[in-house]
A and B are shown apart, each in its own frame.
Chain A
Amino acid sequence: MRLVDIQDLAVRVGGNMALQDVSLKIDSGEIITIVGPNGSGKSTLLRVIIGALKHTSGKVRKSANLRIGYVPQRLHIDPTMPMPVDRFLGLPHRVNTAQTAQALEKAGVPELAASQMSRLSGGQFQRVLLARALLNKPDLLILDEATQGLDQPGSASFYRQIEDVRQQLGCAVLMVSHDLHVVMSASDRVICLNGHVCCEGEPEHVASAPEYRALFGEGTKGALALYRHHHSHTHDHDTQGDS
């Protein structure tokens, strides 16, 4: 089933074109990863999909009653607000204790229900955000650089959790990631973004695409560090992969 269908999307943010000519389809059950340098519009695209940002032109169609689970990049909870994990999971829709326990279990942190959000470590915090996103029984799980600030083993285990969740719930996953090695192993489809779609397709296809190499260098399947990049190359948009 088609969950999201985006055509010729353009988004202007504060006078600059953040995105242009972006087309993207998301079907149920697939894992799509968006890669791209800083400022390439990755978060902007996600924010358009969750409805936080209006697009300037193009079409964004979502299936009726699409349930989205969203895990933001960072979330600061002001210490002036008391917020235990179990209450946080019930925002904005109240859930019962059993549902809370189940979601925390799925996210791999069953022991945290009574903890205050402001006391959690970075890894625990991200897993609680994941648990909250799962409570909604999402058709589409959206993660915006969800492993930022986690160490290598931490983010690897977080992504294994995502894979488990996908298999249990059958939801589609759309994520932005800087962990290129994860991208290459875990995704069905990779979209390389830099204000527009540079290239997209299966991970192997993208990894060997000249557009991708221009962005991320010749590293072995992109497993090396992300190169800072200014878009100076040109390429033929007609060669965009489709799948």
Chain B
Amino acid sequence: MLDDFMVRAALAGLGVAIAAAPLGCFVVWRRMAYFGDATAHAAILGVAISLTLSISVFAGVLGVALLMALTISTFSGRGYAMDTLLGVLAHSALAFGLVAVSFLSGIRIDLMAYLFGDILAVTTADLAVIWGGAILVLVLIGSRWSALLAATLNSDLAYASGIDPKREKLVLTISLAIVVAVAIKVVGVLLIAAMLIIPAATARPFSRTPEAMAVIASLIGGVSALGGLRTAYYFDTPTGPTIVCLAAIFFALSAVVSAARAPK
């Protein structure tokens, strides 16, 4: 079954969508959208480092994404506005990454594959990494769900309940780095943040509780991944962007429905 590249692609897309959606809810609730973007952009630097040192791309990207996320966490609230800091770090990391890749003589690397993903080229080994990472993220977030929610609501309320909001933030930071590292092959550096944010934002109007929002976001992410794969196959369009387009269409529909339902 895994011999079929379409089956591998479908499983890869599902894995990323299911891990990204609940994490994406936190990204939306905590207003960390740019944070996700910055971490993802840093990944291209990770690719360059991995190829230079001949280590696995997953390890290189994970390392750089983690470093980036921790740097932002450390520097935020120290005199720079968050959006300024992220604007500086995200784009410099992307620029340094692109320059670093150009030094890699001898190896012809397909930059487009890393920028926009190459889901059809997912190998069985990639699949193991993607699902390993996805399950790890789900376990991390699922096991600390209530503490993460409390810390997201209000840090003093969390402290009073014996929860350290800094530790919970670190859990989210690490999860984000893992999702970026496993998603790079599927949707690419430039579109990872879309898989985090769009399904969560689409799910919001239909959710009464945070749990419902996470589940609905996962469903929307999953359907987008599978539907996008199929659509790309029929129309011969790039797969990663097609997945994101489908998610964006769902978001537009959700916005229309919620506007129609809103009390006048």
Contacts and interface: CB of A to CB of B under 8 A. Distances in A.
Interface of A: 47, 50-52, 68-70, 72, 75-78, 80-84, 87-88, 90-94, 116, 136, 142
Given A75-B153, A83-B209, A70 B160 contact: yes
Contact of B146 (A77, A92, A136, A142): A92
Contacts of B28: 80
A147 to B, nearest CB: 18
Interface in B147-171: 147, 149-150, 152-163
Nearest to A75: B154
Interface residues of B, number: 28
B157 A93 contact: no
Given A50-B159, A75-B153, A81-B152, 7 more contacts: A52-B155, A72-B154, A80-B28, A82-B210, A82-B213, A87-B211, A116-B208
Interface of B: 28-29, 31, 146-147, 149-150, 152-163, 201, 204, 207-213
B146 A51 contact: no
B150 A91 contact: yes
B156 A72 contact: yes
A39 to B, nearest CB: 18
B154 to A, nearest CB: 5
B208 A50 contact: no
A92 B161 CA distance: 7
Contact of A94 (B146, B147, B159): B146
- Tell me the dominant secondary structure on chain A's binding face: loop
Contacts of A142: 160
A136 B159 CA distance: 14
A52 B159 CA distance: 5
Given A75-B154, A91-B149, A51 B210 contact: no
A47 B158 CA distance: 12
Contacts of B162: 51
Contacts of B211: 87
A70 B157 contact: yes
A112 to B, nearest CB: 14
A93 B145 CA distance: 11
Nearest to A90: B146
Most buried by A among B146, B150, B157: B157
Given A52-B160, A68-B160, A92-B163, A78 B29 contact: yes
Given A91-B150, A93-B146, A80 B29 contact: yes
21 contacts: A47-B156, A47-B159, A50-B156, A50-B160, A52-B155, A70-B156, A75-B157, A77-B153, A80-B31, A80-B204, A81-B29, A81-B152, A82-B204, A82-B207, A83-B153, A84-B208, A90-B146, A91-B153, A91-B161, A92-B146, A92-B161
Contacts of B157: 70, 72, 75
A52 B163 CA distance: 10
B149 A82 contact: no
B160 to A, nearest CB: 3
A92 B212 contact: no
Q: Which 4 A-B pairs have the closest CB atoms?
A: A70-B160, A52-B159, A92-B146, A50-B160
Contacts of B146: 90-94
Contacts of A77: 153
Contact of B208 (A47, A68, A70, A82): A82
Nearest to A46: B156
A47 B162 CA distance: 13
A126 to B, nearest CB: 14
B258 to A, nearest CB: 12
Contacts of A76: 154
A142 to B, nearest CB: 7
A91 B152 CA distance: 11
A1 B208 CA distance: 43
Contact of B212 (A47, A51, A80, A82): A82
A78 B31 contact: yes
Nearest to B200: A80
B52 to A, nearest CB: 40
Contacts of A136: 161
A81 B210 contact: yes
A68 B209 CA distance: 26
Contacts of B149: 91-92
Nearest to B207: A82
A225 B156 CA distance: 29
B88 to A, nearest CB: 24
A92 B147 contact: yes
Contacts of A72: 154, 156-157
Contacts of B153: 75, 77, 81, 83, 88, 91
